[in-house]
């Protein structure tokens, strides 16, 4: 993919530590949330932080150097409920491969989760001025349904042709449009819940979603015989993050906004891949959870003003550095092993030499006392054979 190759060379993305409480907070709470399925959005703030102060910080920088990305996991899907019902092993081996859960939709519980988050997001946006410029979704039904419910009060619900007529194709809409992007899909392959409908069906079912960035009508990315690996997912996540910085999302950006605040409605596996790709460790979000990240391009201005976490999140330079570091570690390990083996061999030879000397000394003592040599054989008074030691 030409775009994938080019984008991985230009940007070196990572996480800013000067805006949100990440990744320490995520690592501390992952897997131990208790009764609360996910932390409230405000818990990601640093001390004395607010949406107003965050907006002031972010808008000081070029939109190509810093973006706030709200990673949103879809609400509970039919496939999630099925895995809970049948167990992960039986789900993975049997149920997930049937067509029953093809391009799974939200359950009733999943829709309620999204409705709860809609109220929560409205409080943040209406009362505390949480900024939002663009909404990007995975082109699967459960993510589109999640975005449609969670952001119902801020999205443009006219179909795309009507919006283009209203705006004459030039002025961005007053409300925020939803744009579908293939790159932020869930783990590809084998599980039919992660296979999408063709774009023709999706356009007719969700006319207010912009599918113009989709490359093919049919789902040519999904394979029945290969499940995407973590390495493949991480590579795709890096491409997607670069697209957020490089692609023109003007058609889906709210009028008069900077385009720096982007909601990405996606999946658990892909969110994990994005966090890993940005150097933030491993964190599995709950259904309908929102994770705000300050993603920065490594430039002198950003580094000096906001600070960044030490590990980079992508780009050719970072991958090369990782490979070089790995090779150096291998060489050091081999050298250390060689030294230990040589030292061990030396110690062993000394020990054998000393043992031989002691053995000969003992032998000479026995010979002096018993009166026979190493090669002799004597019969004691009991009639048994006594061999020299």
Q: Which residues, other chains included, contact 201 with Cβ-Cβ below 8 Å and sequence gap of 6+?
A: none
C-alpha span between 103 and 221 (Å, rounded): 14
The single-letter DSSP state of residue 313 is: -
- The sheet with strand 209-210 has its strands ordered as 13-15, 290-297, 66-73, 261-266, 134-137, 178-180, 209-210
Closest Cα partner for 138 from 284, 268, 260, 258? 268
C-alpha span between 168 and 184 (Å, rounded): 29
Determine which helix (DSSP H) or strand (DSSP E) holds 14, and give its type and residue range: strand 13-15
Neighbours of 93 (CB within 10 A): 11
The single-letter DSSP state of residue 70 is: E
> Are residues 56 and 91 in contact, defined by beta-carbon separation less than 8 angstroms?
no
C-alpha span between 157 and 173 (Å, rounded): 11
Please identify every residue annotated as catalytic.
74, 186
C-alpha span between 20 and 37 (Å, rounded): 20
C-alpha span between 21 and 27 (Å, rounded): 11
Distances (CA, A) of 266 to 70, 160, 203: 10, 21, 18
Q: Are strands 178-180 and 209-210 parallel, antiparallel or unpaired?
A: parallel
The single-letter DSSP state of residue 63 is: T
The structure tokens 């039986």 sit at: 90
Q: What per-residue string of b and e applies to 181-197 under the rule 16 or more CB within 10 Å gives b?
A: bbbbbbbbbbbbbbbbb
Phi/psi at 203 (5° precision): -65, -40
C-alpha span between 245 and 248 (Å, rounded): 8
> Are residues 136 and 176 in contact, defined by beta-carbon separation less than 8 angstroms?
no
């Amino acid at each position: 993919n030409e775009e994938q190759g080019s984008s991985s060379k230009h940007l070196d993305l990572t996480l800013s530590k000067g805006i949100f409480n990440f990744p320490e907070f995520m690592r501390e709470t992952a897997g131990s949330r208790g009764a609360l399925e996910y932390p409230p959005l405000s818990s990601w703030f640093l001390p004395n932080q607010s949406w107003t102060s965050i907006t002031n910080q972010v808008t000081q920088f070029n939109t190509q150097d810093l973006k706030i990305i709200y990673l949103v996991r879809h609400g509970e899907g039919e496939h999630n409920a099925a895995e809970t019902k049948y167990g992960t092993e039986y789900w993975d081996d049997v149920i997930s491969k049937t067509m029953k859960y093809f391009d799974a939709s939200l359950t009733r519980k999943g829709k309620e989760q999204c409705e709860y988050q809609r109220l929560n997001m409205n409080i943040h946006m209406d009362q505390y001025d949480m900024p939002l410029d663009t909404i990007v979704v995975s082109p699967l039904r459960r993510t589109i349904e999640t975005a449609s419910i969670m952001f119902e009060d801020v999205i443009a619900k006219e179909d795309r042709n009507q919006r283009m007529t209203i705006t004459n194709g030039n002025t961005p809409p007053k409300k925020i449009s939803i744009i579908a992007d293939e790159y932020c899909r869930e783990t590809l392959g084998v599980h039919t819940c992660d296979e999408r409908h063709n774009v023709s069906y999706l356009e007719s079912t969700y006319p207010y979603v912009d599918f113009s960035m989709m490359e093919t009508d049919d789902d040519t990315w999904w394979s029945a015989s290969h499940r995407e690996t973590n390495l493949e997912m991480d590579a795709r996540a890096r491409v997607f993050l670069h697209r957020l910085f490089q692609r023109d999302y003007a058609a889906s950006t709210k009028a008069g906004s900077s385009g720096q605040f982007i909601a990405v409605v996606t999946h658990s596996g892909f969110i994990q891949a994005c966090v890993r790709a940005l150097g933030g460790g491993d964190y599995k979000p709950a259904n309908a959870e929102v994770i705000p990240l300050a993603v920065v391009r490594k430039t002198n201005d950003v580094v000096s003003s906001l600070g960044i976490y030490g590990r980079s999140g992508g780009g050719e330079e970072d991958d090369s550095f990782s490979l070089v570091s790995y090779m150096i570690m291998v060489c050091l390990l081999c050298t250390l092993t060689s030294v230990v083996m040589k030292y061990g061999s030396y110690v062993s030879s000394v020990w054998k030499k000393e043992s031989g000397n002691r053995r000969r000394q003992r032998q000479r003592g026995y010979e002096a006392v018993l009166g026979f040599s190493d090669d002799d054989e004597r019969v004691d008074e009991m009639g048994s054979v006594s061999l020299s030691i």
